[in-house]
Amino acid sequence: MLLRCFVPCYHPIFEIPNFPLMASNFSISHDPSSSTSLLSLHTQNSIFPSKDKVKHFERTQLKIHSLFRRKAANFETMASEKTHGLTQEANDFTYEAMIDSENNTDVFDDMKQRFLAFKKLKYMDNLEHYKKLADAQSPKFLVIACADSRVCPSAILGFEPGEAFTVRNIANLVPSYESGPTETKAALQFSVNTLEVENILVIGHSRCGGIQALMSMEDEGDSRSFIHNWVIVGKKAKESTKAVASNLHFDHQCQHCEKTSINHSLERLLGYPWIEEKVRKGSLSLHGGYYDFVNCTFEKWTLDYEGSRGKNGIAVKNQSVW
């Protein structure tokens, strides 16, 4: 019977118990008269131990295997826990880095791609047009629209660069000629007298926050509020709405005022002498527009100057819904 010797490797995690080696008393007798080395009887007995010794050795092997498996399992668990912790830390770092990257660069990366697409697909394909715009502008429209992010007139109506001189303010209001200086009044003067636009288009829209503020605030509100001091420009539209729609739900009152304020702005435009003169001569037209982004419709109408003369208010013509 051939026995295989098991010699476990030493591992620092555990200690190997002492057990008898198979050939602890191994010795060789050498006969000078012979060229062959012979194992002594004692050696033979050590190499081929008794059955009791074999059983003792096998039991010792089983103990070592069991101990090694337990120690190895503990070590694997410890390593797994440590690895999981390191992996989680790495994932957390990666996630934080990704969030930081998004907060700092993603918005502008997207903006950069849109600009590069514009440059390639529009600017370079219409280079001569943009070279002319670099020297001067001659827009056909002055557009007065709300600053609301949902109602960009160029996106809605497709204005290209050079087509519309655009003013955007809260609730697309036009202040009266007699009031103090504002950016809107400066834009009116420049676009009408210097650029000589042919059309002024005032665009209102659905669910306007500025109109909601106007309809909900007290007339004697906080005079230190910038919002109050601006939207009070639409006070006349609010009064008109309250006179005819006070029994309606607040949302419907606001919708009524959104459209009414556009016509009041057109009426105030006629209060600017140099605008009224051009309208009377026919070189300038005044228009109203209302964009309902809930159902994506656009209403358009034109001020009827002759029909408005001698009237309290204005008359309109050429109304259409797109």
Give the annotated binding-site residues for Zn(2+).
146, 148, 205, 208
* Beta-carbon contacts of residue 58 (< 8 Å; ≥ 6 apart): none
User: For residues 290 and 259, what is the distance between their CA atoms, to the nearest angstrom?
Assistant: 7
Burial environment of residue 238 by CB neighbours within 10 A (0 to 12, 13 to 18, 19 or more): buried
End-to-end CA distance of the chain: 102
3 state SS for 17-48: CCCCCCCCCCCEECCCCCCCCEECHHHHHHHC
Amino acid of residue 35: S
Provide the pairing of β-strand 164-169 with 285-292. unpaired
Phi–psi pair at 131, nearest 5 degrees: -65, -40
Annotated binding site: 146, 148, 205, 208
Residue that has been written with the tokens 């557009």 in this structure: 143
The DSSP symbol for 234 reads G
How far, in whole angstroms, is CA 309 from its chain's centroid? 50
Burial environment of residue 276 by CB neighbours within 10 A (0 to 12, 13 to 18, 19 or more): middle
In 10 A of CB 186, how many CB atoms? 11
User: For residues 213 and 117, what is the distance between their CA atoms, to the nearest angstrom?
Assistant: 39
